[in-house]
Amino acid sequence: MQYSGGDKSCRFPLTPPVPPPPLASTNATAFLSSVALLYDGFYHQMGGLLQLGGPDEPREGPPLQNALRTMFLHTHLNPAGRWEPSQSLASLAATSLSPPEKAQVEAIQTGCFNPATGTLYWSPEILSRLWKKGDNVFRDKWLPHVAPFLSPSSDAAEERCRRLFVREVGEIRMGEPMESLVEVVDGGRGGFRTCTCVSA
């Protein structure tokens, strides 16, 4: 179960080919490779020229830049013991969006982030409204990117690695800890839940 950047069937820009490494590993390189896999496969397209549109067509307008991507990259635990996406509002303020557009994006930020667990839930309704360079994030990015990881492996070690990276669940339980970096419902068609990165 190996994935490489030149393999169009998986589309993960990784070189050299690597399997999803175990999260429980004490090897820092292996753990950071897991996080890089999550970023490259999912969150890289959640910034820069990302635009908010409808489920069937993109919209011409200012890009969202890092307003959504920073929710994955930067979180911290506040004195009250609640998680906060520490740079999301500042990243939103730095965009050229109009006040009504910023209000829409702020509502997405608030609705996706769970302060009790510091995790993000991306519903199909939200992801299908996001576009980058003419591609729909839900249909053209996240669904095909997660698909190679959803087939069980007959090798026990590979299967353990796969389940530590992504896990299919019957429903998203936002108040519970995650057992993998990514949780998906119905192959991702029912939504995605991901961990976030803690930053100072």
Whole-number pLDDT of residue 31: 63
Distance from C-alpha of 168 to C-alpha of 186, rounded to nearest angstrom: 7
Cβ–Cβ < 8 Å for 188, 146: yes
Q: What is the mean pLDDT of residues 53-75?
A: 89
Residue 137 in this model has a pLDDT that exceeds 50: yes
Q: What is the average pLDDT score of the chain?
A: 83
Whole-number pLDDT of residue 29: 65
User: Which of the four pLDDT bands, split at 50, 70 and 90, describes residue 122?
Assistant: very high
Buried b (16+ CB within 10 A) or exposed e, 24-33: eeeeeebeeb
